[in-house]
Amino acid sequence: MFVWEQYHAYRVIPLDDRPHVSPRIKLWSGDGRGRWEGNTLIVDTRNLNAKSRLDVIGDFFSDQAQILERYVFVDGSTMHYEATITDPTVFTRPWTMRVEQGREPELEFWEYACHEGERDARRTSSQFDD
């Protein structure tokens, strides 16, 4: 299970041999199926509803997209993430992005609670009330 507390989102990735759900069923995070190959978790995601974006600048995909992710656990502090996106409706050929992520044990995990107690937002909005 992957959880993104900031976005109140999660993905459940079955690791058994069950098939993908019907292609008629489209989901926000798609229908992912995972398997292990050594130290690599491979996740095949299909059935995306194409209502979200690939990034914050608005790059998009269609409901025909398929994403093949690889989470390679190099050691106790390093993970390589790779995603290959295949979408013949939007892209002329599959493309791959890669990111190396390191564990940061000195960072403290904080709850993302919609900025409870935030006072700057109130002050900023009052500037425009005149």
Q: What is the DSSP string of 29-87?
A: T-EEEEEEETTEEEEEEE-B-S-S-SSTT-----TT-EEEEEEEEEETTEEEEEEEEE-
**So what's the pLDDT on residue 126?**
45
- Residue in the structure block whose two tokens are 């025909």: 64
> What is the largest distance, in Å, between two alpha-carbon atoms of the chain?
63
Predicted TM-score (pTM) of this structure: 0.78
Instruction: Show pLDDT as tens, one digit a residue, over the chain (130 residues).
Output: 887 766 677 889 999 999 999 999 999 889 999 999 999 999 999 999 988 877 777 788 999 999 999 999 999 899 999 999 999 999 999 999 999 998 888 876 666 665 566 555 545 444 444 4
Residue 96: strand pairing partners: 84
Distance CA 126, CA 122 (A): 6
Domain spans of the chain, in order of start: 13-104
Angle at 96 between CA 93 and CA 99, to 5 degrees: 165
**Coil, strand or helix: which one is 115?**
coil
Q: Are 84 and 94 in contact (CB under 8 A)?
A: yes
